[in-house]
Amino acid sequence: MAITQDGYNAKHRQELVARSLIGLGLAFLSAILLTLAFPPYNLWPLIWIGFIPMLLAQYKVMPEKISSLALGVGVGGFFLGYFNDIFANSVWYMRYLPLLIAIIATLVGIGDRPFHKRTRFRWFLVQFPFLWVGIEMIRGIIPTFGTWGFVGYALYEQPWLIQPVSIFNIYGLDLLILLVNCAIAQGIMVLSDRNRGIVDSKRALISIGLLLIAWIVLSLVLLSSSQTELRVAAIQPGNTIRTQEGLDKLYDMTRKAAGEGAKLIVWHEGALPFDPQESHRADLQTLAADTGAHIVIGYVVHTKTGSRNEATLLAPNGKFLGTYGKDHPVAFVGETSLTRGTYPVYQTELGPLGIIICYDLDFTDTARKIVKNGARLITIPSHDWSAIASKHYSHLIFRAIENRVTMIKADVGYDSAIVDPYGRIIERAVTPGYDCAILVADVPLGKRNALSITLGDWIGWLSIICMGIFIIYMPLTVFLKKSRL
């Protein structure tokens, strides 16, 4: 009898090890699929199925006691693949961010499988999506993190599919993607469930399918053509301006853009190491007068109390129309912005124009505030680095759709782009190398008719509320089950 028991125990241990290894392999597969969905690989259809192997590992394959490891490996592995070496030279907590995310995901997911077993997976379709999007919303309002790695960003080159973002914001698209992943995963689990421990959710699965179809139809209805009204340019000099020679190069590129008919020309973030309203003022006014163009000039002035990371709009008549201070300084690199917190709109003969700066693009609030103040076109001076070149400009597409305005991003050397109010990329110069480019395009002025301008991040806030409900309800089910017994 003892030999038989020992044999059973050994076989059981082998089975647990095998299930653990297979489950971790499936979780790692999710990390790979999700990574490949984003730039620079751009295999965007994978975002609709990328979470499925991880979910199957967590709820069907892994031993229950360590099932949350699947979530940790899948989510942490995805962010490792997504961020790669983006923060290699940053503070320690950003360098180890994927590991921190993996640990947090593992801890957060400890109670998930027991909860779904107690409730026969009645809440499986919505618990993980609302949890994920709720966490996205929280980090989307934290100055350090922003919207990096939002799952909807994988669809940035698919304007036919993302137009409802103008109503539901990026959080609505993310929620839909998570719902589809969970619906397919639950369908697979129902088909393979021999013990019938999972509630048959055919109606819910059909509802998710109809929701996806409705989203696509709505997107196609909302996608529209635009009549061009203005020729604009983004100047990408390929080097920072530290000498008179560099400044002359920027002047020369501006004249070339004006020679192609550009009436609005955007320079990059920190293009000048001085305030153009105080230094080189006459030269810049002459440049604007000679070209007949409005010029958006980014500059950084360092003071004893911090930095003024600002941009100003210079009109052809030589008048500086005002100053915008960067709203979201990059805190993890020690950046400050002393003049942040105002959202001016400049009334010009070209139309009402606004400015945001670089990292402001990674948050949903700043562009919305500028548009609420009347802007129909937003310019974005930026100063990126090689590791983020393929990803950062994709955020531009969603800010444009959320606010239905044209956006012009002028970078120092990596990822300049011009995007219309429907998220269509008109021109771009994206390279991991330090490249020089002049982007010129005819663009429409936005109509500012997106509901998300008024509704804001309502899906994100709804997700936080639902996440809070699950946080209370999940442990409560333990007591409810005991009370029934």
The residue-averaged pLDDT of 131-154 equals 92
User: Model pTM?
Assistant: 0.94
pLDDT tens-digit map of 169-208: 999 999 999 999 999 999 999 888 766 667 767 888 899 9
Residue 473 neighbours by CB distance under 10 Å: 14
Q: Which CATH class is domain 230-445?
A: alpha beta
Cis-peptide into 40, omega within 30 deg:
yes
Q: For residues 402 and 165, is the Cβ–Cβ distance under 8 A?
A: yes
- Which residue from 313, 404, 411, 385 is spatially nearest to 355, judged by alpha carbons? 313
Q: What is the spatial distance between Cα 384 and Cα 362, in angstroms, rounded to a whole number?
A: 12
Confidence at 304, pLDDT banded by 50, 70, 90:
confident
Q: For residues 39 and 391, is the Cβ–Cβ distance under 8 A?
A: yes
- Which residue from 299, 339, 302 is spatially nearest to 320, judged by alpha carbons? 299
Q: Where are the domains of the chain?
A: 2-223+458-484, 230-445
- Tokens 């021109």 found at: 427
> Encoding tokens for residue 299?
């500059």
Confidence at 477, pLDDT banded by 50, 70, 90:
confident
- DSSP letter assigned to residue 379: E
pLDDT tens-digit map of 308-363: 999 999 999 999 999 999 999 987 777 889 899 999 999 999 999 999 999 999 99
- Which residue from 247, 242, 240, 278 is spatially nearest to 381, judged by alpha carbons? 240
pLDDT tens-digit map of 4-40: 666 667 787 888 899 999 999 999 999 999 999 999 9
Q: What is the spatial distance between Cα 329 and Cα 341, in angstroms, rounded to a whole number?
A: 11
What was the pLDDT predicted at 1? 46
What was the pLDDT predicted at 355? 98
Q: What is the DSSP string of 439-482?
A: EEEEEPPP----HHHHH-SHHHHHHHHHHHHHHHHHHHHHHHHH
- Which residues, in sequence order, are CB contacts of 146 under 8 Å at separation 6+? 139, 140, 328, 359, 362, 363
CA angle 80, 384, 34 (to 5 degrees): 25
